[in-house]
Amino acid sequence: MYQEIIKQREYNPQTVKNKSICVRHIRRGLGSHTMRSIRPHHLTTAIRSFLPDRAPTAQRVLDELRDVFSEAVANGWMDLNPALHVRRPAAKVKRQRLTLEQWQQMRTLAAAGSIKWLEPMLLLALATGQRRADLCKMRFDDVSDGYLHIEQQKKAGKPHGARVALPLSLRLDAVGLTLGEVIELCRFYAKAGPTLLRKKNGAAFERPDMLSYRFEECINKIGTWLRGVRPSLHECRSLAERLYRKQGIDTQTLLGHKHQSMTDRYNDDRGLSVGEWKRLVLTT
């Protein structure tokens, strides 16, 4: 019944998939209970089964439980939502931020490698600060009137994702290129195709998983990482935010965030700058 409700909400396919995974976890942990018999301590026990190694999963499952029981209350199957009384588990962030030096090492490897779209991907990810799904669907005809127009796929409960127009003159000083120059570099590494990132034969990537796979393959060549610590492709988004913010660029608009507090999370370098001297700059 709840999965039918999910389908009626018109989520994108990835969101439906993620929610379905949570529902499977819920069934495995609570399937022996009737809905009306479930109490907060039952939920706490089920949530703890994911801790401490999978705290983000525990958080997602609790969010889904709250929604499940809200629907149950709304439909008259229960009187109260027991999940509202369960404390949200804290997730300790382990994944390291990507540094500019690491990104530069990866770019050097990518430029010398056989996968010709890897270097353009690294450049595009850093120049735009966008998510991998948005990188996949960027098209040459998204460029008009001097801007790259991006409708982000992540909707976050809205009818459409954030709509961001990035000027082709946007320059990332750390790599010495403008966005327009990066887009031009995307024209010639493979057969012609509609998308900026594409396979050797010019075909678009159907799923963003391949981008992440090649990124991980490349970053593994520049260092040895503990489990859960290695920076992911998504960390290019944080690196872009930190680099552009130093230039005085409006990174909240760049990343498509509704709230500055979310952008500030990307600015947190998770200890990379510990020990550095913060210099006070005097203005005249």
> String of b and e for 228-257 (b: at least 16 CB within 10 Å)?
eebbebebbbbbbbbbbbeeebebbebbbb
Q: Looking at the chain, how many residues does it have?
A: 284
- The verdict on whether omega for the bond into residue 52 sits within 30 degrees of 0, i.e. cis, is yes
Name beta bridge partners: 178: 171
Catalytic residue among 54, 66, 107, 234: 234
237 is catalytic: yes
234 is catalytic: yes
Q: CA-CA distance, 154 to 42, in Å (whole number)? A: 33
Catalytic residue among 131, 137, 198, 242: 131
19 is catalytic: no
Catalytic residue among 137, 237, 242, 244: 237
Catalytic residue among 19, 198, 242, 257: 257
66 is catalytic: no
48 is catalytic: no
Catalytic residue among 154, 155, 199, 245: 154
8 A C-beta contact, residue 161 and residue 153? yes
60 is catalytic: no
Hey, what's the torsion of the CAs at 253, 147, 208, 116, to 10 degrees? -130
Residues carrying an active site annotation:
131, 154, 234, 237, 257, 266
